[in-house]
Amino acid sequence: MSADPNCIFCKIVAGQIPSRKVHEDDELLVFHDIAPWAPVHVLIIPKQHIATMYDTDERHTAMLGRMTAMAPKLMRDLGVTNGFRIVVNTGRDGMQEVPHVHMHVMGGPRPWTKG
Protein backbone atom coordinates (compact mmCIF):
# COMPACT_ATOMS: atom_id res chain seq x y z
CA MET A 1 0.00 0.00 0.00
CA SER A 2 1.45 3.34 -1.00
CA ALA A 3 1.87 6.23 1.42
CA ASP A 4 3.24 9.76 1.18
CA PRO A 5 5.49 10.53 4.17
CA ASN A 6 4.51 14.22 3.97
CA CYS A 7 0.73 13.60 3.84
CA ILE A 8 -1.18 14.36 7.05
CA PHE A 9 -3.79 11.68 6.26
CA CYS A 10 -1.09 9.07 5.62
CA LYS A 11 0.36 10.00 9.02
CA ILE A 12 -3.08 9.50 10.59
CA VAL A 13 -3.36 6.09 8.89
CA ALA A 14 0.10 5.17 10.22
CA GLY A 15 -0.86 6.21 13.76
CA GLN A 16 1.72 9.02 13.83
CA ILE A 17 -1.03 11.63 14.34
CA PRO A 18 -3.98 10.85 16.62
CA SER A 19 -7.57 10.95 15.38
CA ARG A 20 -11.02 10.23 16.73
CA LYS A 21 -11.62 7.04 14.77
CA VAL A 22 -15.14 5.94 13.89
CA HIS A 23 -14.29 2.95 11.69
CA GLU A 24 -11.20 1.18 10.40
CA ASP A 25 -10.69 -1.83 8.15
CA ASP A 26 -7.98 -3.04 5.79
CA GLU A 27 -8.84 -0.48 3.12
CA LEU A 28 -10.55 2.52 4.74
CA LEU A 29 -10.29 4.76 7.79
CA VAL A 30 -13.08 7.01 9.09
CA PHE A 31 -12.48 9.73 11.66
CA HIS A 32 -14.07 12.94 12.94
CA ASP A 33 -13.05 16.15 11.16
CA ILE A 34 -11.02 18.46 13.42
CA ALA A 35 -12.82 21.54 12.03
CA PRO A 36 -16.42 20.32 11.60
CA TRP A 37 -18.94 22.15 9.43
CA ALA A 38 -21.88 20.25 10.97
CA PRO A 39 -22.73 18.62 14.30
CA VAL A 40 -21.56 15.30 12.86
CA HIS A 41 -18.70 15.58 10.34
CA VAL A 42 -16.52 12.59 9.51
CA LEU A 43 -13.95 11.92 6.82
CA ILE A 44 -13.74 8.62 4.97
CA ILE A 45 -10.30 8.06 3.49
CA PRO A 46 -8.58 5.21 1.70
CA LYS A 47 -5.52 3.95 3.52
CA GLN A 48 -3.69 3.93 0.20
CA HIS A 49 -2.38 7.37 -0.72
CA ILE A 50 -4.29 8.72 -3.72
CA ALA A 51 -3.79 12.46 -4.08
CA THR A 52 -7.00 13.50 -5.87
CA MET A 53 -10.02 12.07 -7.63
CA TYR A 54 -8.13 12.84 -10.86
CA ASP A 55 -5.79 10.03 -9.83
CA THR A 56 -8.55 7.42 -9.59
CA ASP A 57 -9.64 5.09 -12.36
CA GLU A 58 -11.59 1.85 -12.81
CA ARG A 59 -9.19 0.07 -10.42
CA HIS A 60 -10.63 2.18 -7.61
CA THR A 61 -14.32 1.58 -8.41
CA ALA A 62 -14.96 -0.89 -5.59
CA MET A 63 -13.15 1.22 -2.99
CA LEU A 64 -15.00 4.40 -4.00
CA GLY A 65 -18.27 2.48 -3.94
CA ARG A 66 -17.54 1.21 -0.44
CA MET A 67 -16.84 4.76 0.72
CA THR A 68 -20.20 5.96 -0.60
CA ALA A 69 -22.14 2.93 0.65
CA MET A 70 -20.62 3.30 4.12
CA ALA A 71 -21.98 6.85 4.62
CA PRO A 72 -25.62 6.02 5.54
CA LYS A 73 -24.61 3.41 8.15
CA LEU A 74 -22.06 5.80 9.68
CA MET A 75 -24.63 8.57 9.95
CA ARG A 76 -27.23 6.27 11.51
CA ASP A 77 -24.64 4.93 13.97
CA LEU A 78 -23.70 8.52 14.89
CA GLY A 79 -27.33 9.51 15.49
CA VAL A 80 -28.04 11.42 12.27
CA THR A 81 -31.59 10.59 11.18
CA ASN A 82 -32.78 13.60 9.18
CA GLY A 83 -30.34 13.67 6.26
CA PHE A 84 -26.69 14.22 5.49
CA ARG A 85 -24.33 15.55 2.84
CA ILE A 86 -21.47 13.86 1.03
CA VAL A 87 -18.79 16.18 -0.37
CA VAL A 88 -15.61 15.26 -2.23
CA ASN A 89 -13.42 18.26 -3.06
CA THR A 90 -10.98 17.70 -5.92
CA GLY A 91 -7.96 19.81 -6.76
CA ARG A 92 -7.18 23.43 -6.00
CA ASP A 93 -10.22 24.85 -7.82
CA GLY A 94 -12.39 22.25 -6.08
CA MET A 95 -11.10 23.56 -2.74
CA GLN A 96 -9.30 20.34 -1.76
CA GLU A 97 -7.14 21.23 1.25
CA VAL A 98 -5.44 17.89 1.92
CA PRO A 99 -3.94 16.12 -1.13
CA HIS A 100 -5.31 12.68 -0.23
CA VAL A 101 -8.71 11.52 -1.51
CA HIS A 102 -11.30 11.99 1.23
CA MET A 103 -15.05 12.08 1.50
CA HIS A 104 -16.72 14.48 3.92
CA VAL A 105 -19.93 13.08 5.40
CA MET A 106 -21.85 15.73 7.35
CA GLY A 107 -25.16 15.58 9.16
CA GLY A 108 -27.26 17.09 11.87
CA PRO A 109 -29.05 20.45 12.09
CA ARG A 110 -27.31 23.44 10.59
CA PRO A 111 -27.30 26.69 12.61
CA TRP A 112 -28.10 28.78 9.51
CA THR A 113 -30.95 26.58 8.31
CA LYS A 114 -34.26 28.43 8.32
CA GLY A 115 -36.90 26.45 10.24
Domains and their CATH numbers in the chain? 8-107 (3.30.428.10)
Confidence (pLDDT) at 22: 98
pTM: predicted TM-score of the whole model, two decimal places: 0.93
Which of 41, 49, 100, 102 is flagged as catalytic?
102
Beta pairing partners, 42: 32, 105
Which residue type sits at 106?
M
Question: Given a cut of 70, is residue 112 above it in pLDDT?
Answer: no
Those residues with Cβ within 8 angstroms of residue 26's Cβ, 6 or more apart along the chain or in another chain:
47
- pLDDT tens figures, 40-81: 999 999 999 999 999 999 999 999 999 999 999 999 999 999
Q: Which residues of 42-80 are buried (b: 16+ CB within 10 A; e: fewer)?
A: bbbbbbbbbbbbeebeeebeebbeebeebbeebbeebeb
Residue 32 annotated as catalytic: no
Question: Given a cut of 80, is residue 113 above it in pLDDT?
Answer: no
